Amino acid sequence: MISTTPRFDRSLVKKYDRPGPRYTSYPTALQFTDEADPADLLADCRGTPGPLSAYVHLPFCESLCWFCACTTVITLDQGKADAYLDCLEREIDLMDPYLPADRSLAQLHLGGGSPSFLSAPQIARLGQILGGRFASAPDPEFSAELDPRTLNEEKVDVLRSIGFTRASFGVQDVNPEVQLAIHRVQPDAMNRKVLGWVRSAGFESINIDLVYGLPKQNPETFSKTLDAAVDYDPDRIALFSYAHVPWVAPAQKIVERSVLPAAETKLDLLEMAVERLTGAGYVFIGMDHFAKADDPLAVAAANGTLHRNFQGYSTLGGLNLTAFGMSSISQSARAYRQNHKDLRDYSAAVDNGRLPIARGYRLSPRDELRRAVIMELMCRFRLDLDKAAAEHGVDPREEFADARERLAPMEEDGLVEWHGNTLAVNPAGRFIIRNIAMAFDSYARPAENRHARTI
Ligand code: SF4
């Protein structure tokens, strides 16, 4: 049994706070190239056995939250979603020849944007598009990111009738001044109302997202947000650090009109959140995820069966991740492929009968080894280099000499320890797991300034 109890060592968290990837893939999307041949990227899709994990990107939002770095389309025109559903339907049909024989869905995730931008009939139509092409695997996990500001009971009922049992809500912060500063007014009463709807409709699992490091936040305001979050009683809580990357998300320039919390204050907020959430019975899963001790994610973390993919931590692994919609990223055994990020480019491709692949990456055998190693570390906080090297036919001493060198300061600081060729992440190292993983990343150094900071 692996202990999932982290130890928050403020000075060490501060010392290692530097830009780093979130490792929802390895190599990260920064390595994707538009020179990759789509045929090459699709080559192993059919051969990667089912069932499938499907992701559908629904990019529309009624207004832009100024902290947002997602790929969105801001509109009040509901008709745009009708046209988009037409494109999705075509894209799924274009993908059909590349899908494995087993078309059952073990996982389906609707992300965005705001999937709840769609009207109830549009959600029903999406259900028909998917249901007509894919069967459900036994006990599937269907989840949707929902925005309380655009959700209503009718939409909840339609989602439930399609088979959705998991809902994820962006809460971010309940303080009205913080909400004004990020252009996202979402009163506490609204949160409570939508939670009531999904619970009465029979949703089994609720996640809420919180963000620390937003403008106007301070320990006093954030303490109230944490109180509310615990009182909402979700099964999972994602606690994200606000990533200020205005060169990627220009709307974040507006956020700069308000004063952002200083680095020390941000650490205060994180430290308080860790204490409050673990004190309320949530288990630290890894990176920025917490779950109730009996939640499948916490159980998987405890018994060493956790996985990681583009949606973050997951209980299901080894699945062919097939993503649809603009900007979405798919993963087969040896390749990643990403669709066009621009709605016009995406629509034009499918209208012309082409899969809308804009760029991607074909993994080398060395990438596959490093991916296995990094995912092992991110999910289990432990790494057996002999085992990993044997599976990939390399000499671990030679292959990982660079990683050992990069980890030396962390070993001195007591964040990790070596037992022969096995690396164990100590409780204090769990909060900087991505910095530890970076030691095994062949691409980390040249890319690191293009990532957000880890804290
Ligand atoms: S945070 Fe969510 S709701 Fe707000 S703009 Fe971004 S995707 Fe849309």
Tens digits of per-residue pLDDT, 25-57? 999 999 999 999 999 999 988 877 778 999 999
Residues 158 and 77 reside in one and the same domain: yes
Tens digits of per-residue pLDDT, 352-372? 999 999 999 999 999 999 999
- Residue 61, ligand 1, Cβ within 6 A: yes
CATH number at residue 424: 1.10.10.920
> Residue 450 has what pLDDT?
55
Tens digits of per-residue pLDDT, 148-176? 999 999 999 999 999 999 999 999 999 99
Q: Which residue has tokens 């994610």?
A: 297
Domain final residue, candidates 296, 323, 350: 323
Domain interval for residue 77:
29-323
> Residue 446 has what pLDDT?
46
Peptide bond before 100: cis, by omega within 30 degrees of 0?
no
Q: What is the pTM of this model?
A: 0.94
- CA of 433 relative to ligand 1 center, distance in Å: 27
Residues 63 and 8 reside in one and the same domain: no
Residues 56 and 89 reside in one and the same domain: yes
Residues 200 and 304 reside in one and the same domain: yes
* Overall number of domains in the chain: 2
Residues facing 418 on adjacent strands: 423
Cα(329)–Cα(322) distance, integer angstroms: 8
- Residue 68, ligand 1, Cβ within 6 A: yes
Residues 5 and 42 reside in one and the same domain: no
Residues 398 and 292 reside in one and the same domain: no
Residue nearest to atom 6 of ligand 1 (CA): 68
Nearest CA-CA partner of 320 in 145, 123, 146, 104: 104
Do residues 410 and 429 lie in contact, with contact meaning Cβ atoms separated by under 8 Å?
A: yes
- Which residue stretches of 20-102 are H helix? 38-42, 79-95
Q: With 50 as the cut, is the pLDDT of residue 444 above it?
A: yes
147, 168, 183, best to mutate for ligand 1 pocket (most atoms within 8 Å of CB): 147
Residues 7 and 104 reside in one and the same domain: no
Orientation angle between helical segments 120-131 and 79-95, nearest 10 degrees:
10
CATH number at residue 89: 3.80.30.20
- Residue 209, ligand 1, Cβ within 6 A: no
Residues 19 and 119 reside in one and the same domain: no
Q: Which residue has tokens 């097939």?
A: 322
Helix H, strand E, coil C: the string for 186-209 is: CCHHHHHHHHHHHHHHCCCEEEEE
Segment 287-308 mean pLDDT: 93
Cα(286)–Cα(4) distance, integer angstroms: 8
58, 67, 68, 210, best to mutate for ligand 1 pocket (most atoms within 8 Å of CB): 68
Cα(92)–Cα(88) distance, integer angstroms: 6
Residues 408 and 428 reside in one and the same domain: yes
Dihedral (Cα; 209, 214, 216, 217), 10-degree rounding: 60
> Residue 369 has what pLDDT?
93
- Residue 72, ligand 1, Cβ within 6 A: yes
Ligand 1 atom with minimal separation from the 113 CA: 7
64, 185, 245, 326, best to mutate for ligand 1 pocket (most atoms within 8 Å of CB): 64
- Which residue stretches of 35-186 are H helix? 38-42, 79-95, 120-131, 153-162, 176-181
Residue 356, in any domain of the structure: no
- CA of 373 relative to ligand 1 center, distance in Å: 33
Tens digits of per-residue pLDDT, 366-414? 999 999 999 999 999 999 999 988 888 888 888 899 999 999 999 999 9
Residues 316 and 375 reside in one and the same domain: no
Segment 334-361 mean pLDDT: 97
Contacts of 114 (CB under 8 A, 6+ apart): 58, 60, 61, 62, 145, 146, 147, 150
Residues 161 and 225 reside in one and the same domain: yes
